[in-house]
Amino acid sequence: TSASTPPACRWCGTDAQGWACPECGAAGLRAPVLGEARTGEELGRSFPKARVVTSAGDHVVRRVDTRPGIIVATPGAEPIAEGGYSAVVLLDTWLLLARDDSRADEEALRRWSNAVGLLRPGGRVLAVGDPAHPALQALVRWDQPGFARRLSEERQGARLPPSVRLATVTGDPGALDDVLTLLAPPAHIEVLGPVPAGDDEERLVLRTPRSHGAGLARALGELQRVRASRKLDAVRVQVDPVSL
């Protein structure tokens, strides 16, 4: 979506017309900006005698020694500290939770848990965010299994993985029309989309009960075989993609 268009579902393309923030009522949208370099600079000014190391993107620091210092890292780029960290601060936790991904909550908890795992015995953790959020509650209680069970129950009610099987087909709009004609989805396969997928491509999402998952995979394999034999425009097929 963009600042001038309403939010839209990435699966089926449905627009959320008239959307407004439930907290303040504002209808404007803006993209959050991650700035580990700026954070490092501000911490350096606040603690001028401290060693500040940044780790992110193309400059990932793998390890740091035992010298005192402040390590600023993006999720997944945290260096391993010799002997462990004395403290871990999780800033702006809402950024991971607000990702446009159906697995944002579980991915956030996974990354936070990995960061906490870098602590030395007796180390402390400070998480900056909404203390009522289920993912942060699970982190505080260190109850990842309970969080997974609760998330699984919610997804079953919403017909989201892993309670269903998903497949995506991505390609030119004309090629996707051919896909639907050749596939002729039976009643147990729900077709969502197409929705924009970037680079002038579109994406179909196919959803089916787990009991029909193997049949969906076989049908898509046969679809690709037929399309290749007829030399039709290529499409990309993913079964149970990690994210959309």
- CATH code matching the domain that covers 164-239, chosen among 3.30.70.1710, 1.10.540.10, 3.30.1010.10, 1.10.10.410: 3.30.70.1710
State residue 4's pLDDT score: 59
Burial of residue 180 (CB within 10 Å: 0-12, 13-18, 19+) is middle
State residue 16's pLDDT score: 77
Block mean pLDDT (10 aa), the chain, length 244 = 64 75 77 67 87 89 93 92 95 87 90 96 94 95 96 89 90 90 85 87 92 90 90 90 77
Q: How far is CA 115 from CA 73, 98, 110, 127, 221, in A?
A: 10, 19, 9, 11, 40
State residue 240's pLDDT score: 86
Look at strands 119-127 and 236-239 and give their pairing: unpaired
State residue 10's pLDDT score: 67
Burial letters for 111-122: b for 16+ Cβ neighbours within 10 Å, e otherwise?
Answer: bbeebbebbeee
Q: Is the full-model pTM beyond 0.75?
A: no
CB-based contacts of 149, cutoff 8 Å, min separation 6: none
Going from N- to C-terminal start, the domains of the chain cover: 36-155, 164-239
Q: How far apart are CA 95 and CA 129, in angstroms?
A: 9
